Amino acid sequence: MSRPSPTLSLMIDAARAAGRRLVRDFGEIENLQVSQKGPADFASTADLKAEEIIHSRLSKARPGYGFIMEERGLVEGTDKSHRFIIDPLDGTLNFLHGTPHFAVSIALERDGELRGGVVFDVMRNELFWAETDQGAWLENRRLRVAARRKLEEAIVSTGIPQLGTPGRERFLAELDIVTQCVGAVRRFGSAALDITWVAAGRFDCFWERGLKVWDVAAGLVILKEAGGLAIGLNKSDPRQGDLVVGNRSLAAKLVERLEGGGPPQGKR
Ligand code: 2AM
Ligand code: CA
């Protein structure tokens, strides 16, 4: 079994600390659902609190490192080569509605390369982590992407643009393509967990557009170390947020379908 490096151990501890706070706050959500004010403000406070816990731990232990955070944005460090990329609560809408499917996501970038990732599924208490060349792990179990090679047997996860965000028509066109060639489609609401679950072999592929670097960074390290592949759509960098992930064979096939506009002639 591989052991996390000192920096990765710090990231794991920070994710667990933020998770403890989120569990407490999640317990309050049900009461808030019926209150006048509603849970929206509460969720954004929970989000900010969790981010503060992570930022304060990591900046104390690694002074000088830079940060990109969902809530607070970019914090430049004096150390220009290291940067943490943080989403304190991925799956905010689930959290807000009392659905126990959300995660803390923390990645480490060195000289522009993603080197470490922690995704903590708070309510299932599943901690996924990976470091470059050290493999991907769920606690102490090694992760491996699924070996399936046929799109028609694949379970493919995705994200649907929310009301008020662009991309609905394109999403529907892509869903039309995908539902003609894969076994089944899922939509669970946390991109960080979607990517991590591909790494764990629970989903065969995932595709989504319009994500941000903090949604995907940690998951991408875990995916890569589990033998998976992330491909940016239209030749983009997958960190930019329009991406397909899967095992090497399925990711490439799905990109081909999405970019080629549909199944080949004569096939369903
Ligand atoms: P969040 O929960 O941190 O907001 C759901 O499809 C995924 O998309 C979640 O990971 C969610 O992250 C993210 N998401 C929701 N709204 C988004 C937006 N406007 N831009 C980018 N990502 C978004
Ligand atoms: Ca997010």
| Confidence check: pLDDT of 200 > 70 | yes
**105-146 pLDDT, tens per residue?**
999 999 999 999 999 999 999 999 999 999 999 988 999 999
pLDDT of residue 41: 72
Quickly tell me which residue has 């304060």 as its tokens.
56
- pLDDT above 90 as % of the chain: 87
CATH of 6-142 among 3.30.420.610, 3.40.640.10, 3.40.30.10, 3.30.540.10: 3.30.540.10
Bridge partners of residue 158, in order along the sequence: 207
Average pLDDT over residues 185-190: 98
**47-80 pLDDT, tens per residue?**
999 999 999 999 999 999 999 999 999 999 999 9
Domain boundaries defined on the chain:
6-142, 151-260
| Confidence check: pLDDT of 266 > 90 | no
Q: How far is the CA of 267 from the centre of ligand 2 (A)?
A: 36
**Whether the CB of 157 sits within 6 Å of ligand 1:** no
pLDDT of residue 267: 43
Please give the Cα distance from 172 to 89 (Å, whole number).
27
CATH of 151-260 among 3.30.450.20, 3.40.50.2300, 3.40.190.80, 3.90.180.10: 3.40.190.80
| Confidence check: pLDDT of 182 > 80 | yes
Q: What is the DSSP letter of 102?
A: -
Q: Long-range contacts of range 77-81, CB-CB < 8 Å, 24 or more positions apart? A: 81/110, 81/111
CB 104 within 8 A of CB 122: yes
pTM of the model: 0.94
Please state the separation of Cα 218 from the chain's center in Å: 7
**Whether the CB of 91 sits within 6 Å of ligand 1:** yes
Which one has a higher pLDDT value, 268 or 29?
A: 29
pLDDT of residue 29: 77
| 13, 63, 104, 131, 256 from 22: Cα distances, Å | 14, 25, 9, 25, 39
**Whether the CB of 191 sits within 6 Å of ligand 1:** yes
| Confidence check: pLDDT of 233 > 90 | yes
**Whether the CB of 47 sits within 6 Å of ligand 1:** no
Cα distance between the two ends of the chain: 44
Atom of ligand 1 nearest to the CA of 165: 19
